[in-house]
C-alpha cells in the first residue's frame, strides 16, 4: 500500500536530530523525498543517509536569508517541486526576566521566530504558483503558559510563531496552501533535559514525557490529505499539561 506522502517532497529544518529527525524518518517511511536541513552539516547528512527515499542533506542557518533562499533552491533543483515545509529548527536556553541578556534574547528570537518567517517566505511563491502545499510550524506549550520551563525570549518567540501561523494560513488559503502549527509540551529530547522540565514532567496528566515520534505523527497528519480541510490550527502534543 502506498504511503500517505507518496510522490510528495518535504523540507525539514532542524532535521538532523530530535523531533526534526523523527519527522524526516516518518515522512520518508510514508513515501516522501526529504531535504534534511540543519545548522550542523554532519547530522543533516547522517539523517539523510538513513532515509529509505531520495534525500538531500543541507547545511542551513535559518537566521540567514541568503542561506534559506539557497537551501530552498537546492531542494527544488534536486526534487523538482516542494510540497511540505516543516519549520522545526529551534533553540532554547533557560533564563529569567532579570538575567536574560540582549544577546540571548536576540539569538532565541532569531532562530525560532525569524527563521520560521524566512523559510516560509522563501517557499510562498512556489506553493502559490502550484496552488498546493502544507507549511507546518513548531510552536510550543511555552507560547501558552508563558515559558515556565523555557524563559521569556523562547515563550515570546513561540507565541509569535503561533500568531504568524494564523496570519499566514489566512493569507495562503486562497492559494490552497494550508498552514498549521504543533505546540509540543515536554518531549524527550536534549532540549528538555533540565531541572525546570523535570518539574513539569512530574505534572503531566498522562504520566510521562512525549517522544519525538508523537510530534512526528502529528506532523504527518498535518502534511497529508487526512487534514485537507484544516488550516490555521495550533495542535497541542503535551500529554494533557495544557488543555484548552
Q: How far apart are CA 140 and CA 22, in angstroms?
A: 17
d(CA 60, CA 204): 34
Calculate ∠ Cα 14-195-213, nearest 5°: 35
Catalytic-role residue among 91, 94, 154, 242: 154
- DSSP letter string over 182-219? EEE-SBSSGGG-SHHHHHHHTT-TTSS-B-HHHHHHHH
Rounded distance between C-alpha atoms, residue 149 and residue 203, angstroms: 13
Catalytic site residue 171?
Answer: no
Q: Which residues are catalytic?
A: 154
Amino acid at each position: 500500500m502506498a504511503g500517505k506522502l507518496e510522490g510528495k517532497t518535504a523540507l525539514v529544518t532542524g532535521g538532523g536530530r530530535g523531533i526534526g529527525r523523527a519527522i524526516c524518518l516518518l515522512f520518508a517511511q510514508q513515501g516522501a523525498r526529504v531535504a534534511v536541513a540543519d545548522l550542523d552539516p554532519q547530522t543533516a547528512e547522517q539523517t539523510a543517509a538513513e532515509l529509505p527515499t531520495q534525500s538531500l542533506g543541507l547545511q542551513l542557518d535559518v537566521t540567514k536569508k541568503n542561506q534559506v533562499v539557497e537551501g530552498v533552491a537546492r531542494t527544488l533543483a534536486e526534487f523538482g517541486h516542494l510540497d511540505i515545509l516543516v519549520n522545526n529548527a529551534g533553540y532554547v536556553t533557560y533564563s529569567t526576566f532579570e538575567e536574560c541578556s540582549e544577546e540571548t534574547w536576540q539569538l532565541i528570537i532569531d532562530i525560532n521566530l525569524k527563521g520560521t518567517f524566512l523559510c516560509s517566505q522563501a517557499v510562498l511563491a512556489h506553493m502559490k504558483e502550484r496552488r498546493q502545499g502544507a507549511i507546518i510550524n513548531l510552536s510550543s506549550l511555552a507560547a501558552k503558559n508563558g515559558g515556565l520551563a523555557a524563559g521569556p525570549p523562547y515563550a515570546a518567540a513561540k507565541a509569535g510563531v503561533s500568531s504568524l501561523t494564523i496570519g499566514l494560513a489566512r493569507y495562503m488559503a486562497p492559494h490552497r496552501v494550508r498552514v498549521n502549527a504543533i505546540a509540543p509540551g515536554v518531549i524527550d529530547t536534549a532540549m528538555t533535559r533540565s531541572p525546570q522540565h523535570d518539574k513539569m514532567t512530574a505534572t503531566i496528566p498522562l504520566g510521562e514525557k512525549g517522544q519525538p515520534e508523537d510530534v512526528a505523527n502529528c506532523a504527518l497528519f498535518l502534511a497529508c490529505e487526512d487534514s485537507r480541510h484544516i488550516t490555521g490550527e495550533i495542535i497541542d502534543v503535551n500529554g494533557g499539561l495544557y488543555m484548552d
